[in-house]
Amino acid sequence: MSAKTKITPFDPAEYLDNEEVIAEYLKDAMESGDYEEFLSALGDVAKARGMTEIAKASGLSRESLYKAVRPGSKPQFETVDRIVHALGLKLTVTSATM
């Protein structure tokens, strides 16, 4: 009889423990060109920082924050911007030819 291996789901939020890692994680998600991937990454960062705190800082309810970053959501830019700022980050634009 063999021992069973317990597999637990990977949770990126457990590894988002400093500003540099968080910024790179979100940058990679944004550069993927997949908006849903970026929203998922934004949700991972909010989870790592504490959803309640991020909801308060962004002026959103916890429910609205969860809805904004769940798969298939289509939040307005203003909502995404509020979440980003609540995380202490900012969105920037650079030339695609750099």
Burial of 41 (0-12, 13-18, 19+ CB in 10 A): buried
Q: How far apart are CA 27 and CA 29, in angstroms?
A: 5
What angle separates helix 77-86 from helix 35-49, to the nearest 10 degrees? 30
Under CATH, which number does the domain 18-86 receive?
1.10.260
Judge whether residue 2 has pLDDT over 90.
no
pLDDT in tens, 37-74: 999 999 999 999 999 999 999 999 999 999 999 999 99
| Contact residues for 13 (Cβ-Cβ < 8 A; gap 6+) | 44, 45, 47, 48
Mean pLDDT of 12-16: 92
Whole-prediction pTM value? 0.86
The model's confidence at residue 97, banded by pLDDT at 50, 70 and 90, is confident
